[in-house]
Structures are given as C-alpha cells and as structure tokens.
Amino acid sequence: MADRIGFIGLGNMGGPMSANLARKGFQVTVFDPRPAAIEKLVAAGAKGAKSIGDVVDAADVVITMVPDTPDVEGVVLGPDGTLARGRKGMLHMDMSTISPAASRRMAEKLKEKGIGWVDAGVGRSPAHAEKGESLFMVGASPEDLARVTPLLNAMGNKVVHCGGPGAGIATKVVNNYLAMCLNQLNAEVFTLGAKLGLDTKALFEVVTSSLSSNDHLKLYWPTKALKGDIEPGFALDLAFKDLSIGVGAAKEAGSPAHVGSAAREAMIRARTQQGLGQKDVTALLTAAAAEAGIKPPTL
C-alpha cells in the first residue's frame, strides 16, 4: 500500500511540488496558514486539512516546506506535531532551508520514537517546481531514501544522495552560500562596470562567455534585475536567512567566511537602509548602484 502524504507549506515552492504529487496519483493532505493556498491544492486533487495535527494524523510521510528553522521545529516538535502525534514507522521529510544542526537534532528526537527523517534541500526555481524539474540534495538512510524516491521523482528530475540525515540540508546550505555570495559579486561587478562607463550588454557577454561565468548571472539575472524587475522570485530576506545559516555553519566549523560575512553585511545594508528585503535577491544590484550614486544598469 502506498504511503499517504501530508504536505505542510504551500508557498512558491511547496505549492507546485505538492500539486505535482497530487496530480501524479499520490494521496496528499495539505495545510498552510493561508486558506487560499489550501483551496488551490484541493483543486489540484489534494485533501485540505484544518491544522498541522490533522496532517500528521492523516499521513505516513509528512513533508515540510516552510520558511525557516523555527517553522520546521514548530511542525516537528510542537504540541500537535510529528513528534507528539506521530507513529512508529512514519517518516518526516523536511525540504526547507534550515540550520543543519537543528535538522540533525530533530532527526535524533524522531528516531527515539521510531520515526524516520529525511532532509531534502531543493535546488532550482519555482518555475522548475511547477514543471516537476526540481533538484533534490538528500540526507537519509538508504532505506528512507528508497521510500521517498518515488515522491522526489514526482516533484523533480534529479536526486543527489548526499549522505545520512543532515547531509542534504548541509549541502544545500553550502550551495546557497556560494549562490548568495555570487549574487553580491554580480551586483558589484555591474555597478563597477557602469561607474567605469562600460556598456552593460558588452560586459554581460564577456562575463557570461568567460571563466567569470556563473549560472545565477546567466540564467536568472537577465530575467530579474538586469531586466529592471526586482519583484521577488526569491526574496532578499530569504537569501539573507540562507546566507546567515551558511556563515553560522562556517563559524561553528571553524572555517573562514570572509566573503560570506561581507556579502551578509551588504545584504543587511540593502534590507535596513534601502528597504529591499521583500524584493528579489537580485535587488542587491539596486542597492549597490544606489551606493555608487547611479541608476541600476539593465540589459
């Protein structure tokens, strides 16, 4: 008998991923604080729940895709969460970007009750999630990986097993550390180019055709800041949270984080001094250009 799925968190990523599960024949019960998000998933074939507890009661595998570490802890460790209401043999798969240390702690607590844990960090964008083309960085035992693989294949097209519980989100944090630092570097490079009077299109062609190339710049920036659009696909506030987790992880590990710390400070300035936290991460270009006293360059 196939696992019954509970999905908590129906935002830009969780919404389309859970919809793919429902459309592909999985029995899915969903919850989100926003009733409209639940209604949208019910229309896609899922069953709506009134609370986190209702999801846990109805599921064999509970999936969380929520904003931050405290949100996951609320679902896992809260009075109506997986630890309190879950049953031996259940599994919790967290797909949020959270602290690796917190992920490992929750895995250990659930293990004591006979509940499995999988951390499956998600790569790529909401557009990929819509098409079922997400990438997953997975931390799990071989047995739990086998159990969730059909779910991951329904939501994405690439699964990388990174190791045991905690390894998936740690990989995501490291990957995001690079991605967020590259966003800051992109902002500085194009601002400097504009200050030096360079043609933005020519600079873009050179950078994307040379060893300086990076996928954030090649694939994402032309659709956002370099097009003059800083409405959020991935909000700067979330990028700041992800990078803060990475810098914190580096500090805990005794590993240097000079560029990461500098990029984080730049994000703080963009959020607090210019109020760009709810704009797209590429709004770092807006902030850098403002510091230079120029308009943000566009293609």
Q: Which residues are catalytic?
A: 172
Rounded Cα distance, 80 and 190, in Å? 49
Rounded Cα distance, 248 and 255, in Å? 10
Number of H helices, E strands in the chain: 14, 8
Rounded Cα distance, 213 and 215, in Å? 7
Angstrom distances, CA of residue 124 to CA of 39, 121, 177, 180: 25, 10, 14, 13
Rounded Cα distance, 249 and 100, in Å? 8
Q: What residues contact 247, with CB distance under 8 A and at least 6 apart?
A: 177, 257, 260, 261, 264
- Per DSSP, 222 falls in state G
Pairing mode of beta strands 61-64, 134-139: unpaired
Rounded Cα distance, 280 and 269, in Å? 15
